[in-house]
Structure formats: structure tokens, C-alpha cells
């Protein structure tokens, strides 16, 4: 494997690019936009290189970079990429340029930013991208934690500085929830170091994820079960808030509705994936026994979240809030697939992270384009849009059908794998989770009928169709939903070996099918 520092370049390019954007003179607003877009496209190009050079059947972690950072604390600058992280890195690299184009005209100069609103908006978006990418490639627990928490700051300013009328309250709510989770996780990170320092397996203590996971898997590093449960709880609590898992979801609807559509998608489709990624990497591999111990509780909460999110979505009058609640339901599916601990479930969950990002981005952005034209988020304010803006209505329908996991569109494959993986261990819970298929059809089709169908309501006759800039955003998302729905093999070829490695590390083989005995002769 090449020794070129691709992973450092991956996160440093948007970090440095964001710093340059914010330092540009205030009058160079257009240059700030184009420079930010160019930086995001460079990140996409680096990701393509990683995809081409990645060997699915090779080492579990590739493109590894390992440098001493604070040796006395057993922490280092350790980066590496497995198939699970690569899938989410690819999602991030694809979405960010599209989100920058989608939010091209969302920001006007505001007094509070001293004429630099455009610079700040685009620089903060690149900052979130940099920190998400760093979190995905970090193989040092402390390094991961630093960027897991740091990404909250630029996201806070994106919500609070550029959102709607209730942006300040939503931003504070977002920050407090996630900072509290991060505080609990910090205690668990420190506790993990202490128990490694007390173990004979490490001299001194360490934050090296690979070393700890390998020692746990081999039995060389054994933690008292009560201590392990507490440490697992600290990590899981932070990830459950970030994901979010019901009932830790209360911050999400307000933040999603008050942020600009592009920032809301950045939060739901990109940043929140770090929470479910953390469950797969850190909760399962560092604390396999605790993960199995708490598995019934977590998957029960996940199923409740699946049904709850779908039911509440049906009753929403605000289209943006409706889409936010659908994400809570989808995150329930992702977490369910992770903790049933089967190869189908975890492969489906990882693919679901990608597919949810694509479908939610498409649906939320198209709804945002519509709201920007009419000025209202209320579903009742619309009607007959398909007659005056057929392309907008058609793409909204395709994105909505993807959200309800229609066969032929990419979320169907991932949802199907999650349900199959769940059924092999928990058939009753799989049946309950399957009810979301019916509920999602209700909230999507009913919403489409009310907003896009019927006679044209007064005021809607002036709604114009998607313009070329908006088509540039929507077309790649629709194309990916269709392509991955018809041919998901390239994505699964990257994901499956990493899932197999995870399940082998935590010693969780797939359940053996029970064959009914026939009559003897």
C-alpha cells in the first residue's frame, strides 16, 4: 500500500480550504463560493483515488499513517481506513459539493458577520466536512474524540447564524444535547485509558484502537464486566444522542427545521452518521461483551424509534419537520442492523447509512427548493404543484419513493438486509420493524398527494420549476438512488469484508438456520 499520506490530505484539504475562504476579503463573495466548491471537489477527487486503490480483500485497515503524538499518554496520530469508513467517506465527499451548490444563494450578508456571511457559511461547511472525515479515519480513540466533539462548533454556527426565526433556540438545544453526551463520553475515554494502563497487555496505557480491539478479541485484555458496562455506556450514550436513537432524538427536529436545507442535510446525512459509525467501530469492538449484554435493550429502543418516527411523521403539518422525523425512523433501522450482530444486518446498516444520506438529501433539498419559492413549510399551503413544476414534483416523488424503500431504489436493499439480519435472531422485533414499511408509504404518498396533486391552489401558480443549478444538485442524487438500487454490488464488495472483520473480532458468527426434522422411515 502506498505510503503517501492520503488520509491526512483528505481532511486537511477542507480544513485549510475553509481557513482560506474565511480570510478572503469581504468583497470577494463569489470567489469565496467558487473556492469552497473547488476545495470540496478536490476532496471528492482524493476519495476517488482511495476508492480505486482500496483492496476489499486486503488488510482490514489500509492507507495507515502512524506518528507519535503524546507518547506518555499512549496516544498517536493514527489514521486508517476500512470498508465501513470508506463508504461513509464517499458519501460525505459526494454530498458536500452538492450541498454547497444547493446553498449557493441561501446566505445574504448579515450585520452580525460584518459583511462576511457568505465567507463564514461556506468556510463552516468545509470545517464540518474536515472534522467528519477526520473522525472517520482516526484509529486513535482520543484523536477520534477530539474531532467528534469539535464538529459541533461549526455546526452550531451554521444553525444559529444562518437558520430561520427560531435558530438560536434550536442551535443551543443541539449543542447542549451533544455536549452533554460528549462529556459522558470523555469520562469513558479517560476510563478506557486507565484500565489499559492497569493491564499487563499495555505498557503504558494506550488509546490505539487497533491494539485495544486486538487484545480484547484475543483475551489478552480483560476488563471487569461492571467497569466494561460503564465504559460502554459512556460511548453509547454519546453516539445515541448524535445518531440519534429514540428517546435521545429531541434536538433533531428543531435543528433540522431551523437550519438552512443544505445545513440540515449536512447534519442529518453526514454528521449524524459519525454516531452510528462509532457504534459499529468503538462500542462493538472495544466492548463486545457489553454490547451483547445491552443488545436487547438497544434493539428494542431502535424498533420503538422506527415505529415512533414513522407515526409522528404522519401527523406533521410542516413538510420539513416531517422529513426530519422520517430520519429518526431510518436511524432506528441503522442501529437495529448494527446490534443484531449478523452479517446481513451490519452490511445492511452500513449501506443504509449511505442510502439514507442520498435519499434524505434529495427529499430535503427538493422540499427546500419548493419552500423557498412559496415561502411556507406548511403542507396545507400547497396543491397542484405537479401542474406548474412537473420536474420538481417528479423528483420529489422519486426521492419520496426512495425514502419509503421502494424496490428498485437503493434504500430498499439496505432495509431488506437489515430486516433479514434481524429476523434470524429476533423474528418478533423484525415483524414490528416491518410495520414501518406501511407507515412510510402513508406519510410519503399522502404528503405527495396533498402537495403535488389536485387543483392548483391560489398563489401556487407562480411556482417555477427547478432551475439548472438545482437540477445539477438533484440529478446526481436521483441517479445514485437508482444505480445503487439496481446494482449495489460495488458498495457491498467494499463493505462486506469490513463487516466480517468486525463480527470475527467480537466473536459473533451468524446464527445457524434451524432445520425442521422430517419423519423418520
Question: For 415-429, how does the pLDDT look when each residue is reduced to its tens digit (9 = 90+)?
Answer: 999 999 999 888 899
Q: What would the pLDDT profile of 71-86 be if each residue is shown by its tens digit? A: 777 788 999 999 999 9
Whether residue 394 has pLDDT greater than 60: yes
Task: Summarize the confidence of residues 342-365 as an average pLDDT.
Answer: 92
pLDDT score at 465: 87
Whether residue 111 has pLDDT greater than 50: no
Spell out the residues 6+ positions from residue 190 whose beta carbon is closer than 8 angstroms to its own.
Answer: none
Whether residue 251 has pLDDT greater than 80: yes
User: What HEC string does 206-237 produce?
Assistant: CCEHHHHHHHHHHCCCCCCHHHHHHHHHHHHH
Cell of 330: 431510518
In the chain, how long is the greatest CA-to-CA distance? 89
Whether residue 115 has pLDDT greater than 70: no
- Rounded to an integer, what distance in angstroms lies between the CA atom of residue 330 and that of residue 436? 9
For residue 514, what pLDDT band results from cuts at 50, 70 and 90? low
pLDDT above 90: percentage of residues in the chain? 50
Task: Summarize the confidence of residues 187-193 as an average pLDDT.
Answer: 91
Residue 498 and residue 213 in contact, taking contact as beta carbons nearer than 8 Å: no
Whether residue 31 has pLDDT greater than 50: yes
By mean pLDDT, which of 106-110, 203-207, 349-353, 517-521 is the weakest?
A: 517-521
Whether residue 40 has pLDDT greater than 80: yes
- Rounded to an integer, what distance in angstroms lies between the CA atom of residue 316 and that of residue 165? 19
Amino acid at each position: 500500500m502506498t505510503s503517501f499520506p492520503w488520509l491526512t490530505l483528505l481532511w486537511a484539504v477542507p480544513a485549510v480550504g475553509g481557513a482560506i475562504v474565511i480570510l478572503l476579503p469581504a468583497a470577494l463573495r463569489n470567489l469565496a463560493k467558487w473556492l469552497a466548491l473547488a476545495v470540496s471537489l478536490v476532496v471528492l477527487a482524493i476519495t476517488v483515488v482511495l476508492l480505486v486503490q482500496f483492496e476489499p480483500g486486503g488488510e482490514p485497515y489500509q492507507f495507515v499513517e502512524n506518528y507519535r503524538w503524546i507518547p506518555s499518554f499512549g496516544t498517536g496520530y493514527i489514521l486508517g481506513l476500512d470498508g465501513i469508513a470508506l463508504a461513509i467517506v464517499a458519501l460525505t465527499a459526494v454530498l458536500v459539493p452538492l450541498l454547497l451548490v444547493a446553498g449557493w444563494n441561501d446566505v445574504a450578508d448579515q450585520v452580525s458577520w460584518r459583511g462576511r456571511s457568505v465567507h463564514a457559511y461556506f468556510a463552516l461547511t468545509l470545517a464540518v466536512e474536515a472534522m467528519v472525515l477526520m473522525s472517520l479515519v482516526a484509529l486513535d480513540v482520543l484523536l477520534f474524540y477530539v474531532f467528534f466533539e469539535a464538529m459541533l462548533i461549526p455546526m452550531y454556527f451554521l444553525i444559529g447564524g444562518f437558520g430561520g426565526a427560531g435558530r438560536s433556540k434550536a442551535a443551543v438545544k443541539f449543542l447542549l444535547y451533544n455536549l452533554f453526551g460528549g462529556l459522558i463520553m470523555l469520562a469513558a475515554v479517560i476510563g478506557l485509558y486507565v484500565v489499559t494502563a492497569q493491564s499487563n497487555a499495555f505498557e503504558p496505557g494506550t488509546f490505539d484502537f487497533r491494539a485495544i480491539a486486538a487484545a480484547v478479541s484475543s483475551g489478552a485484555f480483560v476488563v471487569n464486566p461492571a467497569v466494561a458496562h460503564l465504559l460502554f455506556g459512556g460511548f453509547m450514550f454519546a453516539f445515541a444522542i448524535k445518531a440519534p436513537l429514540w428517546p435521545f432524538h429531541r434536538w433533531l427536529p428543531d435543528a433540522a427545521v431551523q437550519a438552512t436545507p443544505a445545513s440540515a442535510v449536512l447534519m442529518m446525512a453526514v454528521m449524524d452518521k459519525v454516531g452510528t459509525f462509532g457504534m459499529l467501530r468503538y462500542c462493538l469492538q472495544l466492548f463486545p461483551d457489553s454490547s451483547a449484554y445491552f443488545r436487547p435493550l438497544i434493539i428494542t429502543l431502535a424498533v420503538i424509534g422506527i415505529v415512533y418516527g414513522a407515526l409522528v411523521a404522519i401527523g406533521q403539518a410542516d413538510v420539513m419537520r416531517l422529513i426530519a422525523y422520517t430520519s429518526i425512523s431510518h436511524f432506528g433501522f441503522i442501529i437495529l442492523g448494527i446490534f443484531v450482530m449478523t452479517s446481513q444486518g451490519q452490511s445492511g446498516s452500513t449501506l443504509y447509512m449511505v442510502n439514507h444520506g442520498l435519499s434524505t438529501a434529495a427529499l430535503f433539498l427538493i422540499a427546500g427548493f419548493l419552500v423557498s419559492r412559496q415561502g411556507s413549510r406548511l403542507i396545507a399551503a400547497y396543491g397542484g404543484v405537479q401542474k406548474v413544476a412537473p420536474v420538481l414534483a417528479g423528483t420529489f416523488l422519486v426521492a419520496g419513493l426512495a425514502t419509503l424503500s421502494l424496490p428498485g431504489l437503493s434504500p430498499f436493499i439496505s432495509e431488506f438486509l437489515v430486516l433479514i439480519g434481524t429476523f434470524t435472531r429476533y423474528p418478533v422485533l423484525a415483524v414490528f420493524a416491518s410495520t414501518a414499511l406501511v407507515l412510510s408509504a402513508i406519510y410519503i404518498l399522502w404528503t405527495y398527494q396533498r402537495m403535488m396533486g389536485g387543483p392548483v391552489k391560489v398563489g401556487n401558480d407562480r411556482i417555477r420549476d427547478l432551475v439548472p443549478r438545482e437540477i445539477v444538485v438533484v440529478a446526481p442524487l436521483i441517479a445514485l438512488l437508482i444505480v445503487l438500487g439496481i446494482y449495489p454490488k460495488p458498495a457491498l464488495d467494499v463493505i462486506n469484508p469490513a463487516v466480517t472483520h468486525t463480527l470475527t473480532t467480537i466473536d459473533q458468527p451468524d446464527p445457524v438456520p434451524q432445520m425442521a426434522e422430517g419423519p423418520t422411515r
